[in-house]
Amino acid sequence: MELCFATNNQHKLDEVAGQLGNSFALKTLRDIGCTDELPETTGTIAGNSRQKAEYVWTHFGVSCFADDSGLEVDALNGEPGVDSAHYSGSRDAEKNIEKLLTKLADNGNRKARFITVFTLILQGVEHQFEGVIEGQILTEPRGEGGFGYDPVFLPDGHDRTFAEMRIEEKNGMSHRSRALAQMIAYLEKQKGK
Ligand code: IMP
């Protein structure tokens, strides 16, 4: 069955393609003729994930899935949340981290989590899958790997930030891989029906 991943991020596509197996023909937005900017205006991570998938299903009629992710910090009432990518007003990860650390200042409550929501629309039937990793925000960045907020995110039960881990190690526990694993398990079940 054809299944479109509603993203323009090649890295994400490769990651999913590697885990999906060959029962599904994974299509890109370009493959289905979609060059539109997908809307992301709902104000929530789950809402934006759903909005992107519904856009593809409604306008192109192709079974599809979309993802949306972000960092939620308890002491900042869930900020940066849906604004994670451009928290500082730009997409510059260093500036976003700087704003986060400035806002948190010496607040003792450093509890945070990364969240990903995948929305799957399989022949019109919609399902959401959420993956979460809990952790703490450090007071200074540590490590060179990863992207986004990885240098200040210390996952619970570990003594290295996401940016200090090998990519395989991070991917083994990340919010994205947890959400993806649930979606793939669901797809595997549908295959047999
Ligand atoms: P997206 O929805 O996956 O594109 O993620 C939105 C934003 O959330 C990214 O631009 C990052 O700022 C942040 N983010 C999401 N996942 C991660 C991660 O694994 N590490 C660090 N930052 C992330």
Going from the Cα of 152 to the center of ligand 1, the distance in angstroms, rounded, reads: 13
Q: Which of 36, 67, 68, 106 is catalytic?
A: 68
pLDDT confidence bin for 21, thresholds 50/70/90: confident
What lies within 8 Å, CB to CB, of 82 at 6+ separation is 42, 43, 44, 45, 47, 48, 68, 70
Architecture of domain 2-191 in this structure: Alpha-Beta Complex (3.90)
Whether pLDDT at 193 is above 70: no
Whether pLDDT at 53 is above 70: yes
State if pTM tops 0.75. yes
Annotation marks residue 92 as catalytic: no
Task: Give the number of the atom of ligand 1 that is nearest the alpha carbon of residue 175.
Answer: 19
Tens-place pLDDT, residues 59-70: 999 999 999 999
